[in-house]
């Protein structure tokens, strides 16, 4: 779902008061800034005529020669074009090094300060899914994490699903895309990019033996979705030139990729598509969208060879997102609702003529998304630019909001794969509260902090700082939320230095957050 904002939150501003300390008297601008007269001559990139024919247009691009193919990037020996591109990049790097040379000491100081605040041997909060606790962990000195799980309890023996430090060896670039475990918990499919092109090759690993299947699926978005038979998977391919996600294929383990079946192709170049699965695991879903339009298709996950059906055909300015619960699809949509609303429709009658309001539209509240549990509906919404998490019991006996302590903050629902759990995992941070993972118990309202980011490299006490939020009227009369943080005791006399950050594009709010740097 494209999350839009209503008028008052089209722009968000953060302000960080730097206090009243003045810079060191021995720190001079000339110590860090190279005078213009002393700058070296920058490298001059060659211009070579090139014409691209696209959309009945001829585009002139004199720098097209710098574009290398994936094959050129991966070749053991560079061809003439690659050598020329690399030579130019090295010249640019050399120019940068020469220009920045006077700041070497400052660069080192800043780098060491930032790195010194990062925990080197960190671990994510485990998530329970189908009897296994999943998590990732970093070891000091390793650039990539280990992807792990434990069966039943965190006291069980650790199973390393992906040894990313080992997989990354020998590659100048390495990234793992999506990871998906089969419904029977035995197989793992994951994507790897070693080119930095955001095109991933999919691999399938038998978690019982550690062996890889021979299946290799190139040029994908990096993830895949399992059907319920534990042998059929669906993945999205990217256009090799534009990197647009435009095709969904079906693959059966043990078969050649050339035999994969194209089940969906997005021919409108303004749309991109992807494949997923409902939380109920009842349906496979294909979503395709552009900035102002969405379309969803669905298929029973127990019948991967069946016929895909459309929820509601695309229309300009119609956006919607789907979830499944019981005999209905629950749909967050902007149909007759600029701030979105929640509707439901029977699984056998999904067109919008059958949509029935569950949460009506509100002029002052933006509905951003939902998460569905067996007994509860969790609603992610926004009012006056602030996140809110609403908890509604399906039988109507409860309708509450999770309380937050700070005037300006960010809060969002996290990973909650267990449909029957009595707890909600969510994340929270503010300008004075480090990034935290918490759990809310539906039945009692109790909140437990599972993890809070450590602030290294010095003592940090949130009690030493003050966070505020105010509404400032812009010249056009729109009220803009401003979040500000400063050290307690600061004399607010208008003379203090201020770091100001503002953003107001694409209809997104910039939530107040915490940074260890």
Residue pLDDT, tens place only, 148-176: 999 999 999 999 999 999 999 999 999 99
* Domain end call among 318, 345, 379: 318
314 in the same domain as 179: yes
Q: Are strands 328-333 and 341-346 parallel, antiparallel or unpaired?
A: antiparallel
- Count how many domains the chain has: 3
Q: Is residue 203 part of a domain?
A: yes
Residue with the larger pLDDT of the pair 54 and 517: 54
Residues 163 and 127 in one domain: yes
Place of tokens 């024919």: 53
| Residue 210 sits in the same domain as residue 138 | no
Task: Assess whether pLDDT exceeds 70 at residue 27.
Answer: no
Residue 338 lies in a domain: no
Q: Are residues 8 and 474 in contact, defined by beta-carbon separation less than 8 angstroms?
A: no
Domain that holds residue 128: 120-169
The answer to whether residue 55 is domain-embedded is no
Q: Are residues 183 and 156 in the same domain?
A: no
Q: Which of 383-392, 410-419, 483-492, 505-514 has the lowest mean pLDDT?
A: 505-514
- Whether residues 138 and 206 share a domain: the answer is no
Highest mean pLDDT among 127-136, 459-468, 499-508: 127-136
Per residue in 369-414, pLDDT (tens digit) is 999 999 999 999 999 989 999 999 999 999 999 999 999 999 999 9
**pLDDT mean across residues, the chain:** 92
Question: Do residues 205 and 187 lie in contact, with contact meaning Cβ atoms separated by under 8 Å?
Answer: yes
Confidence bin at 2 (pLDDT 50/70/90)? very low
**Residue 196 pLDDT grade (very low, low, confident, very high; cuts 50, 70, 90):** confident
The answer for residues whose C-beta is within 8 angstroms of residue 132's C-beta and 6 or more apart is 149, 150, 151, 152, 181, 185
Residues 216 and 154 in one domain: no
Domain boundary (250, 284, 318) is at 318
Is position 94 within any domain? Answer: no
Same domain (yes/no): 494, 476: yes
Note whether 332 and 367 are within 8 A (CB): yes
- pLDDT over 80 (residue 5): no
Same domain, 195 and 277: yes
Residue 243 CB: number of other CB atoms within 10 A? 14
Mean pLDDT of 286-290: 98
pLDDT mean over 229-243: 95
Is 246 domain-assigned? yes
| Per-residue pLDDT tens over the stretch 85-124 | 999 999 999 999 999 999 999 999 999 988 888 888 999 9
Same domain, 263 and 138: no
Q: What is the pTM of this model?
A: 0.86
Q: Are 271 and 139 contained in the same domain?
A: no
Residue-level length of the chain: 517
3-state secondary structure 456-493: CCCCCCHHHEEEEEEEEECCCCCEEEEEEEEECCCCCC
**Which of 150, 169, 188 represents a domain boundary (last residue)?**
169
Asked whether residue 407 is assigned to any structural domain, the reply reads: no
- Per the CB < 8 A criterion, the answer to whether 6 and 338 are in contact is yes
Residue 471 lies in a domain: yes
Structural domain includes residue 215: yes
* Amino acid 6: pLDDT: 33
CA–CA separation, 130 and 280 (whole Å): 12
Which CATH number characterizes residue 248's domain?
A: 2.130.10.120
Q: How far is CA 196 from CA 73, 74, 376, 377, in A?
A: 10, 11, 41, 39
Are 18 and 145 within one domain?
Answer: no
State the sign of the Cα–Cα–Cα–Cα dihedral 56, 58, 61, 66.
positive
> Do 193 and 314 have their domain in common?
yes
Q: Look at residue 37 in the predicted model and tell me its pLDDT.
A: 54
At 326-375, the pLDDT tens digits run: 999 999 999 999 999 999 999 999 999 999 999 999 999 999 999 999 99
Reported as a single tens digit per residue, the pLDDT across 262-275 is 999 999 999 999 99
């Amino acid at each position: 779902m494209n999350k839009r904002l209503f008028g008052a939150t089209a722009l968000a501003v953060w302000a960080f008061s730097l206090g009243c300390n003045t810079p060191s008297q021995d720190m001079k601008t000339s110590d860090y800034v190279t005078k213009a007269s002393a700058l070296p001559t920058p490298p001059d990139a060659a211009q070579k005529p090139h014409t691209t024919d696209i959309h009945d247009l001829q585009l002139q691009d004199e720098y097209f020669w710098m574009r290398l193919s994936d094959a050129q990037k991966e070749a053991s020996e560079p061809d003439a074009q690659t050598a020329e591109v690399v030579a130019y990049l090295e010249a640019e790097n050399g120019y940068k090094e020469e220009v920045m040379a006077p700041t070497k000491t400052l660069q080192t100081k800043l780098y060491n300060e930032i790195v010194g605040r990062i925990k080197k041997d960190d671990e994510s909060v485990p998530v329970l899914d189908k009897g296994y606790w999943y998590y990732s962990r970093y070891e000091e000195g390793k650039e990539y994490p280990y992807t792990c799980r434990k069966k039943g309890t965190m006291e069980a023996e650790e199973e390393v699903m992906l040894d990313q430090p080992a997989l990354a060896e020998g590659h100048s670039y390495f990234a793992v895309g999506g990871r998906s475990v089969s419904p029977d918990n035995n197989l793992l499919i994951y994507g790897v990019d070693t080119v930095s092109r955001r095109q991933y090759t999919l691999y399938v690993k038998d978690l019982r033996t550690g062996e890889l299947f021979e299946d290799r699926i190139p040029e994908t978005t990096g993830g895949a979705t399992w059907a319920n038979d534990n042998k059929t998977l669906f993945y999205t391919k990217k256009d090799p030139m534009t990197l647009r996600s435009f095709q969904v294929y079906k693959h059966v383990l043990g078969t050649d990729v050339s035999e994969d079946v194209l089940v969906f192709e997005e021919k409108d170049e303004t749309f991109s598509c992807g494949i997923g699965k409902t939380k109920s695991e009842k349906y496979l879903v294909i979503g395709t969208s552009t900035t102002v339009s969405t379309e969803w298709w669905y298929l029973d996950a127990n019948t991967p060879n069946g016929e895909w059906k459309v929820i509601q055909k695309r229309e300009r300015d119609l956006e919607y997102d789907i979830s499944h619960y019981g005999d209905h699809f629950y749909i967050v949509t902007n149909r007759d609702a600029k701030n979105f609303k929640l509707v439901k429709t029977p699984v056998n009658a999904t067109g919008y003529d059958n949509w029935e309001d569950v949460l009506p539209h509100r002029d002052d509240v933006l509905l951003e998304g939902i998460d569905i549990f067996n007994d509860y509906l969790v609603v992610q919404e926004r009012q006056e630019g602030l996140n809110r998490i609403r908890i509604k019991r399906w039988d109507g006996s409860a309708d509450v909001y999770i309380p937050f302590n700070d005037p300006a903050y960010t809060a969002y629902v996290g990973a909650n794969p267990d449909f029957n759990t009595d707890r909600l995992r969510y994340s929270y941070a503010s300008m004075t509260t480090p990034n935290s993972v918490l759990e809310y118990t539906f039945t009692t309202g109790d909140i437990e902090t599972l993890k809070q980011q450590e602030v290294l490299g010095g003592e940090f006490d949130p009690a030493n700082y003050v966070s505020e939020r105010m509404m400032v009227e812009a010249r056009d009369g729109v009220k803009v939320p401003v979040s500000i943080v400063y050290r307690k005791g600061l004399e607010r006399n208008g003379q203090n230095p201020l770091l100001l950050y503002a953003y107001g594009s694409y209809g997104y709010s910039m939530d107040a957050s915490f940074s260890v740097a």
